[in-house]
Amino acid sequence: MELFKRVKIINFMEYSKWGLAASTLLVIACLGLIFFKGFNLGVDFAGGSVAQVRFVKNAPIAKIRHAFNEAHFSGVQVSAFGSEQEVVIKIPVGKVHKDLSTEITKILKPLGQFEIRKLDSVGPKVGDELKKKGVLSLVLAILAMMLYVGVRYEWRFALASVIALLHDSLITATSVIVFDIDLNLEVIAAILTLIGYSINDTIIIFDRIREGMLTKRTNDLDYVINEAISSTLTRTLLTSLTVFFVLLVLYVFGSKILVGFSLPMLIGTIVGTYSSIFIAPRVAVLLGFDLERYHGNELKKAKKKQEKERLRRQYEHGRV
């Protein structure tokens, strides 16, 4: 399926100058948010308990907070969850009781009829272990991608794809701070999924660029890149829009529990598509990739291959 019957070569490399400048400012802003505000760790990583409670009538959030304070549960966070009748109660790790369900029922009983729909508890040791494993999984995933693209491409293109990958991961991770989402296992799963999606999108474009460099004997690298991106634009847009609309439906109509996965993935899909087109190719050029030298190296490889083939044929006919 083609969105455009005739492929028009768009000067993406000209626009990518502005895209790179915008991304640089955005990355600085993300680092500032992480440094000055930081992530709000969810129960998965910080430890503690989370209770999802649904009242028959509208949940009296202020009274719930007061009731827990009266019961000497300091540091408890109470927030609406999806509807006016439902709330989420986050209890710090130091206040976890063995029979927490009974304690919550006792505290909330004077406030009206309700139902505890979900109650999760994570100890401090388990939370710390999950945090370490979450960070380790992200690092290993990025290292694996670095190894893969390092073998597949010339080192400048490989490094450019890794830089674009770090760019996407950083912006996606920081989005949870902007939208006040707890950093938990769902967010880590979203970032890991994005890493695979983003590198795949970049590789499709880089493969077409490499084909153009080998088949089109021109030393105008910008032209080769513009042609490669323009020819893959339909595929990129169709893939990205398909993923985007699925995630949008999941975000709008899914449970609020899924927001930690769906919202970062929505943002990551947009950022990943943008970086594959405007960031990764531009970075490869800035790293000093020389198309004329690349053609010279490929010519030397072809001559060596022909020489080996000639010697092999001579050996087979008993001439060597």
- Binned average pLDDT, 10 residues per bin, the chain of 320 residues: 62 87 92 88 74 83 82 76 80 66 81 81 69 80 80 80 89 89 83 86 84 73 85 85 89 78 90 90 83 66 66 62
Pick left, alpha or beta for residue 59 (phi over 0 → left; psi -120 to 50 → alpha; otherwise beta). beta
pLDDT, residue 28, reads 93
Q: Provide CB contacts within 8 A for 48, sequence distance 6+.
A: 90, 91, 92, 93, 95, 96, 121, 122, 127
pLDDT, residue 96, reads 53
Q: What is the distance between the alpha carbons of residues 123 and 46, in angstroms, rounded to a whole number? A: 8
pLDDT, residue 125, reads 67
Q: What is the distance between the alpha carbons of residues 186 and 44, in angstroms, rounded to a whole number? A: 10
Sign of CA dihedral 294, 301, 146, 165: positive
Q: What is the distance between the alpha carbons of residues 279 and 22, in angstroms, rounded to a whole number? A: 10
- The count of other CB atoms within 10 Å of the CB of residue 256 is 15
pLDDT, residue 171, reads 92
Question: Distance of CA 29 to CAs 24, 147, 278, 312, Å?
Answer: 9, 29, 19, 59
Q: What is the distance between the alpha carbons of residues 60 and 311, in angstroms, rounded to a whole number? A: 86
pLDDT, residue 271, reads 92
E runs forming strands in 156-293: none
Which helix (H) or strand (E) segment is 53 a member of?
A: strand 48-55
Q: Are 264 and 194 in contact (CB under 8 A)?
A: yes
- The tokens describing 94, both together, are 């130091």
Record the pTM.
0.77
Tell me how far the alpha carbon of residue 74 is from its chain's centroid.
35
pLDDT, residue 127, reads 65
